[in-house]
Structure formats: structure tokens, C-alpha cells
Amino acid sequence: MSQSLKSNNITAPMISAEGLTVHAAAWLRSRGVNPAQVQAIPGDASARRYWRLTGQRLFMDAPAPEDILPFLRVQRRWQNAGLPVPRILAAQLQPGFVLLEDLGNTDLKTMIDAGTHTDLWLQQSLDLIIALQRAGSADPSRPLLPCFSRQRLEDELVLFQDWYLRKHLGVTLDENERQVLQQLFGLLVDNALQQPQVWVHRDFHARNLMVQLEPQRLVMIDFQDAVTGPWTYDLASLLWDRYWDWGQDRRRGWILDFQRRLTSGSKKALPQEAFLRSVERMALQRNLKILGIFCRLAYRDGKPGYLDLLPQFRKYVLDALTEDAQLSAYLPIFVRWLEA
């Protein structure tokens, strides 16, 4: 599974070096699993913990305040829609145990790092986003996924202000700076809300796409935060990530190819420049949020390694403000904050 799977801070009795609690070990035994034969999977930015079992199975432990119900609901809905997600073998809401299909160690990042048919895998990723969106459009119960509302989008952007500017840089905004920031935030939120609203994974990147070779396919993981939201969000997640900076030309080629296939035969088609602008502004919203999240992980959650990832996302933000003529007026103030 993805290394975005993380450990929680709650103290509980341990029974082995692998970190299983007594309750977790008992639950596994009740399902025929020997706790002495489990292997912990390294964590990263989440509060859940994972172990590899025999028989192509994984065990997930997500105690309070984690809630596995959103994960289970999305998994069931997406599996019923024919989308590639891991199978759930057993689950118990309290204390938050899940037994699920083990998809192995090979994710999309591994394949691309190996230089293995990069464009082919990226095209498959784009196809999967389209399949996800079409499945949601065909499902009359689609609104049951949480709505990516104006408030949620604004809350994401406030992370940049609170954790990157205030906590990381020690910046206290004056009234003019506050107004400039709110004006940009409003523009980015409007861009998101004016788009067609579809099923959105919300963390669609190379570590959350597991590669299966027989048959060849990509399987989505870490989808518990899925929402109904803007149709460019997952595309922005994929093409602006922490692992590679593809460059504007290559990225725009994928975006326009995605648009052609997404809107083929549809009345939703936008002019190319308008679609590019909507994707790039969606990416700007997400990258500002990520700067805030990484600083929160470092300062609140004791994970300072995330500060090493800031330069990539600072560059993404500066590039976006430089390349969008309508946003260039915001560049001088952001240069002070992002080149600090």
C-alpha cells in the first residue's frame, strides 16, 4: 500500500516489535491470522497503520479519532461501480479494524522511476480519472459523497495562511496583504465551483495508484477523503506532485489530451485555453494548500522531513502566478513569501 499510510499517537498495549495492540492481535487470531507472522508497513502522513499478512492480505488499524466508515462507504460504492479498488475481506467499525486485499509493493511512482513506459502509464492514469468521473455521473446516488463546498475549499487555503505564512515564516499580514490574499483565494474557489462537479479521489497521485500486471491495471487506494467536486482536481493532483516536475509543455500536452477524451461528443467542451486555465488554477489552489499541510505536519505532528518538500511546491505556485496573465499582479507579494 501507499506510504501515505501512517501511525497514530494513541498509546495501547503492544504484543510485538511490529506494534500490534492486544486488541488487534486478538481480532486477527479470530480470523485465523497468526499475529507473529505479520509485517509492519512503514508509515508517512496518515494516522492509520498497516501490516502485511500471508495470503495476499493487509490489516489496517485505525483507532479513534480515525473513522473507517468513509473508507468503507467509498470502497463499496466504487467497487459496485466497477472501479478498481482493493477488496474488503472483513471490517469492524470499533475499534477500526479492516482486513483487505494486498495489492503488493509496486505503485505508479515505482514504474515511472524505473523509466518503464512513462507516457503509457500516465495515459492509463488519465483514463482512470475519466472512468471515475463517468461512473459518478452515471450513479443517481452520486451526491451522497460529501460535497467539496465553498467552505471546504476556503478552509484548505487558510492552511497556507495559518501554517506556511504565520507558523513557518512568522509573517503577520497587514490589512492590504490580507485583502490581496482573500481576493486570490476567492478567485481560486470560484474557479473550482464553476466547473462540472464529479467524483473526486482528492489525493490522486503516483503513490496512491497501485500497479497490477495480470491483468495490467491501476488500482486506487487512500480514497477515504473522496468528494463530489471539480472535474480538474484529480488531474491537478496527478500532474503537480512532489515526485516530478514535468514542465509546462509536457504537462499541457497531457491536459489537452485529457480534455479531448473527457469531452468527446459532449456539450461540456471548453476552449483549450479556458480548460488549461481552469486546470492550472485548480493546481494553484491545491499547491497552496499543500504548503500549509506540509508545515502543519512538520510543526504540529513532529514530522520535520516535510519541510524538505516545500521548494517544489513554492516553485509550482510561482510558476502559476508567472504564467497566468490575470494572476501576475499577485506575483510581487508572493515572491516575498515564497523566496524567503
Q: Model confidence over 315-337: pLDDT tens digits? A: 999 999 999 999 999 999 999 99
pLDDT of 264: 79
Name the domain boundary from 59, 82, 101: 101
Query: Domain holding 85: CATH number?
Result: 3.30.200.20
What is the reported pTM?
0.89
Please state, for a pLDDT cut of 90, what percent of the chain lies above it.
76
In a domain, 10, yes or no: no
On whether residue 2 sits in a domain, the answer given is no
Does residue 12 lie in a domain region?
no
- How many domains are there within the chain? 2
Residues 88 and 181 placed together within one structural domain of the fold: no
User: Which grid cell sits at 282?
Assistant: 485548480
**What confidence tier does 7 reach under pLDDT thresholds 50, 70, 90?**
very low
Same domain flag for 218 and 296: yes
In a domain, 293, yes or no: yes
Its domain, for residue 282, covers 108-338
Claim to verify: residue 317 and residue 259 sit in the same structural domain: yes
**Are 121 and 80 in a shared domain?**
no
The stretch 284-304 carries a mean pLDDT of 97
pLDDT tens digit string along 57-67? 999 998 777 78
Last residue of a domain, one of 68, 101, 134: 101
- Tell me which range, 13-27, 28-42, 156-170, is most confidently predicted by mean pLDDT: 156-170
**Same domain for 112 and 97:** no
Q: What is the CATH number of the domain that holds 144?
A: 3.90.1200.10
In a shared domain, residues 96 and 239: no
Whether residue 35 is predicted with pLDDT greater than 70 in this model: the reply is yes
b/e map 290-325, b = 16+ CB within 10 Å: bbbbbbbbbeeeeeeebeebbebbbebbbbbbeebe
